[in-house]
Amino acid sequence: MQIDPQRIPGVALVFGGSRGIGASIAQRLAREGRPVALTYVSRPDSAEKVVSAIQAEGGRALAIQADSADAAAIAAAVQQAVARFGPLQVAVVNAGVYRGSPLEQFPLTTLDEMLAVNVRGVFVAIQAAAAEMLEGGRIITIGSNTAARSGVVGSSVYAMTKAAVATLVRELALDLAPRRITINNIQPGPIETDITADMLDALIQRSPLARVGQPQEVAALASYLASDEAGYMTGTSITLDGGWVI
C-alpha cells in the first residue's frame, strides 16, 4: 500500500486489547510512541479504561467494538484504525475464547464458537491487517502453550485451535515475506489475569518456577517482536510458560 505522508507511521492495532494480556500489550506499545487502536467485544468500560490510561501518559489510543467471530466487524475495525491513525505497522491478534469440557459432553455449538474465534477469527484478522500494513510490518499472534501439550481433561479443542494458530503462523510467514512483514506467535502458559484469579494457588503449585506469569512479561516479548531487532525472526512460535511443557 502507498504511504500517506500526512499520516503517522508506527500504528499498532491490538485485537482483544481491553484487558489482561491484550491491555498490557496495548499499553506497552503506546509507551513506545505508537498510536494504538484496540478492539473489545462486550466490555466498553474496560476498553475505555485502557484508552484513558494510555492518554494519561501522553499516548494516542482508540477503542473499537468488534467481535472476532464476525469477519465484517474485524475488517471494519481495521478500517477504523487506519482512518484514525494511518497505515498499520503492528497488528497483535490476541482475541480468543476458552471453553473446556470432556469429549462426551462437548457441545458442537461450543466447538463451532471456538473455531470461529480462535482459528477463523485469527486468520481473518491477519488477512485484514496485512492488507493495510506497511512494508516491513509486524504481525504477532497470542496462542497458548497448550499447542504443545495441555495435560488437562477437557482442553482438547482449545489445544487444537492453538496448534492451528501455530501452524498458520509458520506457513503465512512465506506469504508475507516478499513484503518483509514478519509474523510470529507467542504461546503463554498461565498468566495472572481476571480469568485465572480463582485458580492461582493451584496453578502456582503446578508451576516448575512456583509462580504464574504476568501480562507485562508477555507484553515485553510482544514489544521485542514488534521491534526492528526482531526483523530476522518470522514464522516462529515462542513458548513463555515457566517450564510447563518441558
User: What are the residue numbers of the active site?
Assistant: 144, 158, 162
Q: How far apart are CA 117 and CA 42, in angstroms?
A: 14
Using DSSP bridges, classify how beta strands 11-15 and 133-142 pair: parallel, antiparallel or unpaired: unpaired
Name the amino acid, one letter, at 37: A
Q: How many CB atoms lie within 10 A of CB 28?
A: 22
Q: How far apart are CA 143 and CA 165, in angstroms?
A: 7
CB 169 within 8 A of CB 185: yes
Q: Return the C-alpha cell found at 16.
A: 482483544
Residues paired with residue 15 on neighbouring β-strands, in sequence order: 93
